Amino acid sequence: MHSAHLEPTMAAARDFIARGITGPLVMLNLIRLREVADYSAHPQLAPAQPISGRAAYERYIAHTLPLLRASGGEILYLGAGGPWLIGPPEERWDIAMLIRQASVHSFLAFADDPAIHAGLGHRSAAAEDTRLLPLADWPMPAHVPAGREP
């Protein structure tokens, strides 16, 4: 069993900035949820009765979405995961999400907003493991005719 990845390391943050992504970027989020949310690290956010990891993540989205939109970001896609079509059968991701941000700067400002931090406990309670992959635009090769994307 591997260790969980819930926050970026300093080295990963440095490498992200060093990529020099210009213009909009899309963040691919993969989230593995806990069966029951664990609010032990954030008891001030805990509901009166235990809730599922999914319910806790929905609280995180509800808290964060207005702040994301105010920063110029948007959720492009939010979907339920399932078994891999291509991938290791022992690995599962319950949620896949694509978030568009206007720039690296707007993403960093959003992530550093104190209002975001007030609701991060819902994310921590919900998530057993996560992945976050920043994606930069890759222009379509000139030799691919319009409407015939690979």
pLDDT, tens digit (0-9, with 9 covering 90-100), for 57-93: 999 999 999 999 999 999 999 999 988 999 999 899 9
What is the Cβ-side half-sphere exposure of residue 82, based on CA atoms within 13 angstroms?
A: 3
- Chain-centre distance of CA 53, in angstroms? 15
Within 8 A by CB and 6+ apart from 127, the residues are 6, 31, 32, 33, 34, 53, 57
Paired tokens of 146: 């319009």
DSSP lists the bridge partners of residue 35 as: none
CATH for 98:
3.30.70.100
Paired tokens of 80: 């339920």
Query: By 3-state DSSP, what share of the chain in percent is helix, strand and coil, each rounded to 5?
Result: 35, 25, 45
In a domain, 108, yes or no: yes
In a domain, 92, yes or no: yes
| The pLDDT of residue 138 | 84
In a domain, 126, yes or no: yes
Give the rounded percent of residues in the chain with a pLDDT score beyond 90. 80
| The pLDDT of residue 150 | 55
- CA-to-CA distance for 135 and 100, rounded, in angstroms? 9
- Host domain of residue 91: 20-136
In a domain, 11, yes or no: no
In a domain, 142, yes or no: no
Residue 8, pLDDT > 90, answer no
Average pLDDT over residues 22-40: 96
Residue 29, pLDDT > 90, answer yes
**Number of domains within the chain:** 1
* Lowest-confidence region among 44-48, 54-58, 81-85: 81-85
In a domain, 9, yes or no: no
In a domain, 2, yes or no: no
Confidence category of residue 147, pLDDT binned at 50, 70, 90: low
In a domain, 144, yes or no: no
Q: How many residues does the chain have?
A: 150
Within 8 A by CB and 6+ apart from 10, the residues are none
What's the pTM? Answer: 0.87
